Structure 1
Amino acid sequence: MPAKSQAQQMAAGAALAAKRGEKKASELEGAAKSMYDSMSEEELEAMASAQQKGKPEHDSNA
């Protein structure tokens, strides 16, 4: 599932870094913390790796 906005993509990237041990999970906040708790590394990678071009900064439908 690709990210719908740049903010969602950045949160997924932060959660992915924590899953991989590159960042402390205790440093996560908000959506990144929720994603860390509820999504697998594979799901986070799919969300974080999509292109940002053409995505809004924030999804108005969220």
Structure 2
Amino acid sequence: MPAKSAAQQKAAGAALSAKRGDTPMSKLKGASKSMVESMTEKQLEDLAETKLKGKPEHVQD
């Protein structure tokens, strides 16, 4: 599942880093904190590897 915005891709990258142990959990904020707990490493990889070209910074619901 590709990321829908640049913010989602960045949050997934931060969560993936924490899940792998490269970044301390205490450094995470907002969405990335909940992503670590609710998503698998594979799901985070899929979001984090999304290309940002043409993606908006944020998506309005």
What TM-score results when the alignment is normalised by the length of structure 2?
0.95
Whole-angstrom CA distance in 2 between matches of 1:26 and 1:42 = 22
Q: Are positions 1:42 and 2:23 aligned together?
A: no
| 1:20 equivalent in alignment to 2:30 | no
Match of 1:52 in 2: 52
**CA distance in structure 1 between the aligned counterparts of 2:26 and 2:36, rounded to whole angstroms:** 11
Q: Determine what percentage of the aligned residue pairs are the same residue.
A: 61
Deviations 1:9-53 (A, max 9, x none): 000000000011110012111000010110000000000001000
Q: Is it true that 1:6 corresponds to 2:14 in the alignment?
A: no
Under a length normalisation based on structure 1, what TM-score does the superposition of the two structures give?
A: 0.94
Aligned alpha-carbon RMSD (Å) = 0.6
How far residue 60 of structure 1 moved from its aligned partner, in angstroms, is 1.1
Misfit runs of 4+, over 2 Å: none
Query: How many residues get paired?
Result: 61
